[in-house]
Structure 1
Amino acid sequence: MRMLHPQQGRGLTEPEPAGSRAPPREHRPLPDTARGIPALSAADVLPALGSSASGLTADAAHERRAAYGPNELPAPHRRPAWRQLAAQFTDLFAIILLVASGVTFLAYLLEEPREPGTVQLAAAIACVVLLNAAIGFAQEYSAERTAQTLQAMVPHRCRVLRDGRPGELPVQDLVPGDVVMLEAGDTVPADCRLVEAHDLTVDNAAITGESEPVPRTAEADPAAEAPQARNCVYMGTDVITGMTRAVVFATGQHTEFGRIYRLTAAAPWQKTPLQREVAWMARRVAVTALAVGLLLFAIRLPTGQSTVSSFVFALGVMVALVPEGLPATLSVSLALGVRRMARHQALVKKLVAVEALGSTTVVCTDKTGTLTQAEMTVVRIWARDQDHTVTGVGFEPSGEVSDPEPVRELLRSAALCSDARLLPPADGARWRVLGDTTEGALLVAAAKAGLNMEAEEAAAPRTAEHPFDSVRRLMSTVHEEGGTRRMRVKGAPLEVLDRCTRVDAEPDPVELTDSKRARITAVADRMAAQGLRVLAIAEREAPHLSGDRDQHERDLTLLGLAGMMDPPREEARAAVDACRRAGIRIVMVTGDHPLTAEAVARRVGIVRTVRPTVVTGAELDGLDDVGLDRMVADPGELLLCRVSPEHKMRVVTAFQRRGEVVAVTGDGANDAPALKHADIGVAMGASGTDVAREAAEMVLLDDSFGSIAVAVRLGRAVYQNIRKFLVYLFSHNIGELVPILAATFTGFPLVPITAVQILAIDLGSDVLPALALGAEPPESDVMDRPPRPRRERLFSMAVVRRILFLGGIQALGVCAVFFWHVGTSGIPFADFTADDPVYREAITLVQAGIVISQFFNALAVRTERESVFRAGLLSNPRLIAAGLFGIALMAAISYVPLLQSIFHTAPLSAGDWALLTAVGVLPLAADEVRKMRLRTRHAPRPEGDVR
């Protein structure tokens, strides 16, 4: 907000200190009169709101401040850090392990004599939960701190009339009835009804999504409703040109902006597909582990084992089935995806959102700033019956006008008849326009034609002007040029043509006949049909100006037409094509006019057919949910135009009812409810509003739709890699469980592998290789596949079969090694004790066998069909290093005395390691045979083969 000189605020009563005021009463809704504000005349508005031309008195303002509360929105709700940390312990895996740790410690207290190994197990399980919680909290806490606050959208101070004196107040102290003064560059601090308006245009993008400034007038508008009322301006929007005096009729949460805020707050966060899948998987793993543990407890109890020892045994089985390292592995793998996306200008605020984009089936995208540059650009000029193209995009004056000589006078007139200013880059920013972006586009085009507008303005100083208004739809200025005066006019083609009697030609202007007028109108219509915003530019000599402005703007000479557009981003079309190949449907949802939306959609490839389905917000209002569901079910091209926040919410919900995974892009406050309600909300970082960034899970730092396509590719890779390390993690659980079951049913009195050893494998040897699998780059054809079905499980039958295949081979190998070792010792099963050296060697062999098998298993799961040797055995060096680290840790557990006492292990011989390597390589060899059979089965048949 523009600051005032201190003397301008003299005499204005400053707000009292908070402590000196009476406690505010419950905030009342606005008076009923406020609902009919647009229909009132400017003279009737002030009395209706209990105000006057001199504003409120200080006492009245104080009373209303107490009644209506401050003019601000509540700060976005954020969970405190301790709640975020506590939430990490509500994961089902964490609950299972915490219960297991507590019950194990209780068993330690009850058993006689007390075994140190039992309390070590309890402590180890608790440490696992703490480690997982620390990793998950650190990742989410750091990501969520990137969110911006909503309050930054609202200006801090504004100019107000109180007691008849102008001054400046914090916007929080505005109340209904206050008279505020606004001009170009100001941000509107509350919802206001205009009392006076001079050449006023407002950027309503934050509320309605419209990309072009809209004119505003103080005249009554009986048929209008917010936010389309032409005599109202709304909190959070920006004044582009002109000045106004307006009276506040709504503040804080009662504003249009506040309505959107409440709509956003009411929209529930949607769980991502991955969150639902992990929750589904966790429940089933938990039930399975509990059922198997209880079954084995019931089997061992009648055999004469003590209750405590039977429980510890059953607990070991449960721990073997629960993938303790999965939460940490999942969090860090998603974090790797976050960092990859950040390198491509996509900032992810929530880890699970990384994968959600990979499963997206529908993208509802806005237009301005995402698919387009958000910078109006003149691309075509018609003058002297010829077309001239203009190259270059945006506000940077680089490019050229084809054959510029015939259009220089047209561009000179258009630039002179403008109030905008073109500002060069400063502090690393790009070229920008101060004022109306349409006028800025004309200034840029003039520079491309070789005109120096500073020199031109000095040579032709402005002496008079008739500002643009929404009724006449044109603007005119008068300039002193070479001893005479000339009028320059620009505006809507039909309005300007009606005032023209001649048209520029070579060498002199000629009469504007009806046939010429019809041809020029056809040219303007053709340009408009191409999605261009068309302005006509004209001039006349004005040696003597008398009478009203309609008389001044007569007998004009038409210089030509200028067509401009908000150009599509260069990368947008390629990104749209990539999404199409990936089977993702793209729906444009915008506040712009249908013709403009369709033109942009065609340029970027969203629309390719002759007649796409174009639906306006008014037409959506006429559809019930059944009709809306039928509309979105049609797979054809769909454009939604002139839509409100409620419309966007309805459309997103309709797609979700069909089972679609919906991503929504947006930059304005009006987009926030849909961003929050979508499966994945994607906000713009450079041009977006704070409320949009707050509601979204992902922020595009470069505002580019191209970054969405890259994020989809990386998200799909994350899902593929998650399935890889799930196969890796769960297959060794079978290798841990089967030996325990085999010992139970063969009557062996001890477990072949202890719970502490299982934890050492799950955390010490498995996590790093799983993370390395999570860092595998996307496969080359990942964007040529359709999105995975929403109902597809992480644990699909194909995944389960592969887990059983690889895990079964591991289990058979370690069972054979264990029973071979105890069987060749000559000791009867019943005589084995926990301290027996042969038993300690046997359980060490089992642990080492699983670790070595997992090393080769990690190589096997890297590919589904392709041979790992063809993919490159050493092409993932992180995986090799992680596997060797696990083997080294296993060697330390076998040989270091301190670790031997903790894990109850014994040293292995070189022959033992050779045997385990031979057994461990079996999963890789078997999987290579499986892949070869798959490749043979799906290989293309030779021509003529009719098998």
Structure 2
Amino acid sequence: MTQLLTPGDSSRRPEGRHPSGWPSAQTVPLVDVFAALDTSPRGLTVAEAVLRRDRYGANELPRAGRRGLWRQLAAQFTDLFAIVLLVASAITFLAYELQQPRDAGTFRLAVAILAVVVLNASIGFAQEYSAERTAQSLQAMVPHTCRVLRDGERRELPARELVPGDVVVLEAGDAVPADCRLVEAHEVSVNNAALTGESDAVGRTREPVAAGPLLEARNCVFMGTDVVAGSAKAVVFATGAATEFGRIFRLAAAAPRQKTPLQLQVASMARRVAGVALAIGAALFAVRVPTGQPFVETFVFALGVMVALVPEGLPATLSVSLAIGVRRMARRHALVKQLLAVEALGSTTVVCTDKTGTLTQAEMTVAHVWAGGTSHPVSGVGYAPVGEVTDAAPVRELLGAAALCCNARLVPPPADAGRCPRSGRGGWRVLGDTTEGALLVAAAKAGIDLAAEEARAPRVAEYPFDSIRKLMSTVHRAADADTYRAYVKGAPQELLARCTDIDWKGRRRPLTDELRADVTETNDQLAAQGLRVLAAAWRPVTGPRATQDETESGLTLLGLVGMLDPPRPEVSGAVDACRRAGVRIVMVTGDHPLTAEAVARRVGIVRQAAPAIVTGARLDRMDDDALDGLLAEPAELLLCRVSPEHKMRVVTALQRRGEVVAVTGDGANDAPALKHADIGVAMGASGTDVAREAAVMVLLDDSFASIAAAVRLGRSVYQNIRKFLIYLFSHNIAELVPILAATFAGFPLVPITAVQILAIDLGSDVLPALALGAEPPEPDVMERPPRSRRERLFSLTVMGRILFLGGIQALGVCVVFFWHIHASGIPYSDFTEDDTVYREAITLVQAGIVVSQFFNALAVRTDRQSIFRIGLLSNPWLLAAGCFGIGLMAAISYLPALQAVFHTAPLAAADWAVLGAFGVLLLAAEETRKWWLRCHRPVVGKGGKR
């Protein structure tokens, strides 16, 4: 690991202090910087660089630790329900060993259970392995090459070869390769969004600053950030994992991955099912042994009961249902790295969302131009010059002057990127300051040919922007080469103070106090809308060597330009959908409170007059009780100027209150919270690799609307899981009750064998359960409040439906079994396993369960709505799966080869008619129950709405 050269707080660093005892990066006087790092203005010698490379290691982040493939695959078999299935398989193998004579069919079905376990594990492993490899390497955040001084010569080296003490050369457009202290700075601005979440470019200086948080030091630049303007030289003081970027990486790596609510509930369900199966099997074994039944036969009987209680097809059904959700999300450009994350979003109660790049475009865009008392809206977003300036003629001079007074460059997309209309990877981008880029785009939208303007009025002098004047000025030669003009842009208040005239509707007028008040009021109005406002002015000058004082005094104001980082167009609808679904949205950003509130209002996160706005500094002063109280308040909440530690603390506090928390973000600063959340959602196109690494879901199109769609799909997945749980467990009752009834009635044989039960569980039930797992979301799924984290899969409602439907099925199969037995007139004690009547009776039980499950599958498709309202034929896959199960049952009844395996017998047409009547009775009973619920228990969501 690379050692940090102690920039400030060494207590949180991995490897102590630099031998020089350098106390703090930002406070060291400029003259002492080189000495403190044992280097010089000529940089390190090649020999010294090699020594330091050996000492500190490569300038790269450690690769995220990954389990080996075999360990990843083995982990699929350690899930509790997988263990339950393995136990069921072992039971079946044991039954085979104890049978005399041994039944090959039992052996084959035991192998089939193992095959289901393997299939389930393979699906989970393949899905997670594929998604894991799709996530890009964290190393891509570090630039590949950089310019370094070695032995006084400028060289271009791989960034991984940088060491502490190297002197690097930075220019506009460069990515910063390590944490550095500036020793030369020429109007440098950097974009720290990847670390702080703040999209605004911030100026840098080479002078020492007061001690404080390192990320706020204006004389330092950091790995993973970008130089947007100016040029500089800087000395490296931290590389690799010792950088601020590395600190966030370690913070994210240390955060444990949270188990989803479904993971916890499935594990709990597996424990309960295993315990109940073992307890009932043992109890029945204990009851039958004293009656004189053979020990081995009694043990096999108890094993059959245990098998009846284990839904062998459930894990495969669960995995495939989740995989269906994964594929549906993939169609919405959402990459899910873990199957269970599909459901987790459906239980989300709070979304903590970043601002820059998540809610916004991360591209400054001019929205309004004001000149001569008139506002001119500008359409289009991003850096693509697509859109128009309303009534552009009066503001062309203003936008032309602002564009000429820029050092940024607008770079068109490559020839093969025609399908990407906006900025982004392969789209339009700005080289230099993003604010200047927005001015260039606005000028192009006004019909100004930027190249022609630069050729017509070439620049002959420049006075760069600085943080004291808050202005930038350029001098240009006019077309006739005899006159010169100065163009000035900057902060409105600063520029207004230097203006004596104003361009008012094409005429030059004195800037009276009244007009100054109008300009100031307009500036305030634009700023109140969350716009960043710049002013532009001009004046004639005497020549190319006009002084700065001459250039920036006696100006004529051209107008104001208001710009913003625009919200993504789909965000408002997504926010509204989340609100209707009862999902609370909390903005958590490193940006300024005013900017955050303006964006939040535009997208609908804030609707109240006075939302709760809390800064990171205030969070630091809060103890856990105060934070819990803040989060418990129903007010709209914005958390601004927060650090990665703050985000993690907020997520933990929300989880402590029982919330299911989803965190969205794109920057490295979001990574710890993304990993610590119940589900982390990273932006795929504009997001950083560290964010994608930490998240379990990646939005490939960066669309916040995919969040609302994912919540809808996640809720649908959870509903579908409940549907096939009811479907699967209800027939377990139908398998168990006849066995219990026969035991207490004194019948010596089982009404259904373990082999038949496995045939139902693996042959007839899996496909209909999968078809239920593919049910589309119900129409009102986003109108319901989110379920509680404490709500169980087996809620009282679910258990009630299982008992209701299972009881009807159990009653039907008990009736047909004992009716057939009693109709034969044969005493119980005379029945043997090879008796034809007995084989017909157990065939009736198996067929009765299969047929009733066909109608049961139709019944459970909706919770309250009538199946006839959504249409009996609206899920053709379910009908096909049910017909396949009935066809398989018919084959077991009529084909001699299968009769020998399952000890079945042919059924008469009347038998099938009776079984069908019981199925219709079940569907009618469930429809009656739903009708009663609709009449007496209307659904009430959050706020009393349906």
Q: TM-score range by the shorter chain?
A: over 0.9
Aligned to 2:943: none
Structure 1 position 472, deviation (Å): 2.5
What's the secondary structure of 1:614's corresponding residue?
strand
The Cα offsets for residues 8-67 of structure 1, whole Å up to 9 and x where unpaired, read as xxxxxxxxxxxxxxxxxx966545745511112322211111111011122322222222
Aligned to 1:219: 207
Aligned to 2:463: 466
Aligned to 2:652: 653
User: 1 CA distance for matches of 2:790 and 2:57?
Assistant: 48
Aligned to 2:704: 705
Unaligned runs of 5+ in 1: 1-25, 941-947
Letter in 2 for 1:350: Q
Is residue 2:336 matched to residue 1:348? yes
How do 1:79-478 and structure 2 match up within 5 A?
A: 79-106=67-94, 108-109=96-97, 114-116=102-104, 118-426=106-414, 427-428=416-417, 429=420, 430=422, 431-478=428-475
Aligned to 2:719: 720
Structure 1 position 794, deviation (Å): 1.1
Going from structure 1 to structure 2, the CA distance change for 1:292 and 1:257 (only over 3 Å counts) comes to same
Going from structure 1 to structure 2, the CA distance change for 1:712 and 1:107 (only over 3 Å counts) comes to closer
Aligned to 1:14: none
Going from structure 1 to structure 2, the CA distance change for 1:305 and 1:29 (only over 3 Å counts) comes to farther
Is contact 2:751-2:841 (8 Å) kept? yes
Q: Percent identity?
A: 72
The Cα offsets for residues 371-399 of structure 1, whole Å up to 9 and x where unpaired, read as 22222111112222332222222222233
What's the secondary structure of 1:509's corresponding residue?
strand
Is contact 2:37-2:164 (8 Å) kept? yes
Structure 1 position 110, deviation (Å): 5.8
User: 1 CA distance for matches of 2:126 and 2:888?
Assistant: 26
What's the secondary structure of 1:504's corresponding residue?
strand
Structure 1 position 127, deviation (Å): 2.8
Structure 1 position 606, deviation (Å): 0.9
Structure 1 position 672, deviation (Å): 0.5
User: 2 CA distance for matches of 1:110 and 1:257?
Assistant: 63
What's the secondary structure of 2:168's corresponding residue?
strand
User: 1 CA distance for matches of 2:888 and 2:791?
Assistant: 37
Q: Would you identify which runs of 4 or more consecutive aligned residues in structure 1 move more than 6 Å?
A: none
What's the secondary structure of 1:89's corresponding residue?
coil
- TM-score scaled to structure 2, two decimals? 0.94
Is contact 2:198-2:589 (8 Å) kept? yes
User: 1 CA distance for matches of 2:724 and 2:789?
Assistant: 21
User: 1 CA distance for matches of 2:700 and 2:81?
Assistant: 35
Is contact 1:93-1:322 (8 Å) kept? no
Going from structure 1 to structure 2, the CA distance change for 1:939 and 1:133 (only over 3 Å counts) comes to closer
Aligned to 2:11: none
Structure 1 position 938, deviation (Å): 4.5
Is contact 2:127-2:337 (8 Å) kept? no
User: 1 CA distance for matches of 2:150 and 2:412?
Assistant: 39
User: 1 CA distance for matches of 2:748 and 2:585?
Assistant: 63
Structure 1 position 329, deviation (Å): 0.7
User: 1 CA distance for matches of 2:833 and 2:735?
Assistant: 18
Is residue 2:916 matched to residue 1:917? yes
User: 2 CA distance for matches of 1:104 and 1:571?
Assistant: 54
What's the secondary structure of 1:562's corresponding residue?
strand
Is contact 1:29-1:68 (8 Å) kept? no
Going from structure 1 to structure 2, the CA distance change for 1:469 and 1:33 (only over 3 Å counts) comes to farther
Aligned to 1:607: 606
Is contact 2:106-2:755 (8 Å) kept? no
User: 2 CA distance for matches of 1:345 and 1:492?
Assistant: 41
Structure 1 position 907, deviation (Å): 2.2
Aligned to 2:794: 795
Structure 1 position 267, deviation (Å): 0.7
Letter in 2 for 1:607: V
Is contact 1:27-1:68 (8 Å) kept? no
Letter in 2 for 1:722: I
What's the secondary structure of 2:460's corresponding residue?
strand
The Cα offsets for residues 192-226 of structure 1, whole Å up to 9 and x where unpaired, read as 11111122111111100111221112121124422
Aligned to 2:46: 58
Structure 1 position 924, deviation (Å): 0.8
Structure 1 position 733, deviation (Å): 0.4
What's the secondary structure of 2:534's corresponding residue?
strand
User: 2 CA distance for matches of 1:890 and 1:141?
Assistant: 38
Structure 1 position 651, deviation (Å): 0.8
Deviation larger for 541-550 or 758-767: 541-550
Unaligned runs of 5+ in 2: 1-13, 423-427, 940-946
Is contact 1:358-1:713 (8 Å) kept? yes
Going from structure 1 to structure 2, the CA distance change for 1:547 and 1:486 (only over 3 Å counts) comes to closer
Is contact 1:139-1:331 (8 Å) kept? no
Aligned to 2:8: none
Deviation larger for 507-516 or 754-763: 507-516
What's the secondary structure of 2:585's corresponding residue?
strand
Going from structure 1 to structure 2, the CA distance change for 1:145 and 1:310 (only over 3 Å counts) comes to farther
The Cα offsets for residues 678-724 of structure 1, whole Å up to 9 and x where unpaired, read as 11111111111111111111111221221111111111111111111
Is contact 2:258-2:678 (8 Å) kept? yes
User: 2 CA distance for matches of 1:199 and 1:318?
Assistant: 77
User: 2 CA distance for matches of 1:388 and 1:927?
Assistant: 63
What's the secondary structure of 2:504's corresponding residue?
coil
Aligned to 1:774: 773
Letter in 1 for 2:291: T
Structure 1 position 345, deviation (Å): 2.2
Structure 1 position 608, deviation (Å): 1.1
Structure 1 position 161, deviation (Å): 1.2
Is residue 2:826 matched to residue 1:827? yes
The Cα offsets for residues 779-803 of structure 1, whole Å up to 9 and x where unpaired, read as 2111111111221111111111111
Deviation larger for 464-473 or 206-215: 464-473
Is contact 1:346-1:701 (8 Å) kept? yes
User: 2 CA distance for matches of 1:912 and 1:505?
Assistant: 95
Letter in 1 for 2:735: E
Structure 1 position 649, deviation (Å): 0.6
Is contact 1:107-1:308 (8 Å) kept? no
User: 2 CA distance for matches of 1:131 and 1:305?
Assistant: 38
User: 2 CA distance for matches of 1:939 and 1:793?
Assistant: 22
The Cα offsets for residues 570-606 of structure 1, whole Å up to 9 and x where unpaired, read as 2211211111111111111111111111111111111
Going from structure 1 to structure 2, the CA distance change for 1:927 and 1:553 (only over 3 Å counts) comes to same
- TM-score scaled to structure 1, two decimals? 0.94
Aligned to 1:935: 934
User: 1 CA distance for matches of 2:150 and 2:343?
Assistant: 55
User: 2 CA distance for matches of 1:831 and 1:132?
Assistant: 44
Is residue 2:29 matched to residue 1:41? yes
Letter in 2 for 1:336: I
Structure 1 position 610, deviation (Å): 1.2
Letter in 1 for 2:559: G
Is contact 2:852-2:919 (8 Å) kept? yes
Deviation larger for 846-855 or 900-909: 900-909
Aligned to 1:871: 870
Structure 1 position 895, deviation (Å): 2.1
Is contact 2:734-2:809 (8 Å) kept? yes
Deviation larger for 777-786 or 883-892: 777-786
Is contact 2:851-2:915 (8 Å) kept? yes
How do 1:680-759 and structure 2 match up within 5 A?
A: 680-759=679-758
User: 1 CA distance for matches of 2:42 and 2:862?
Assistant: 77
User: 2 CA distance for matches of 1:30 and 1:649?
Assistant: 30
What's the secondary structure of 1:824's corresponding residue?
helix
